[in-house]
Amino acid sequence: MEVVVKGIYRHYKGNLYLVEEVAKHSETLEDMVVYRALYGDRTVWVRPLWMFVEEVEGKDQKHRFELVKIKDATGRH
């Protein structure tokens, strides 16, 4: 599953997040997803790519995060 930078994703628990970037861990070179909460204080989080896209069981959606919208170059949806 490809992660879309500037894409808006819904976490399986319902909150929305904006993917800021896919980065490399400086020690392991593992791909990491940098994403911002679109609620509350808009905290920035980082999570290994494999965990971001992993499947979850018994939930309303197949993956931990699923793409909802993609922002264009002007920041509009």
Supply the pLDDT for residue 23.
Answer: 98
The 10 Å Cβ neighbour count of residue 12 is: 16
| Domains of the chain, first to last | 7-70 (2.30.30.320)
d(CA 5, CA 2) in angstroms, rounded, equals 10
Q: What is the pLDDT of residues 19-33, one digit of tens each?
A: 999 999 999 999 999
For the stretch 36-64, pLDDT in tens is: 999 999 999 999 999 999 999 877 889 99
As a whole number of angstroms, the distance between CA 56 and CA 5 comes to: 22
d(CA 68, CA 74): 18
Contact of 22 with 3, CB cutoff 8 Å? yes
Per-residue model confidence (pLDDT) at position 73: 59
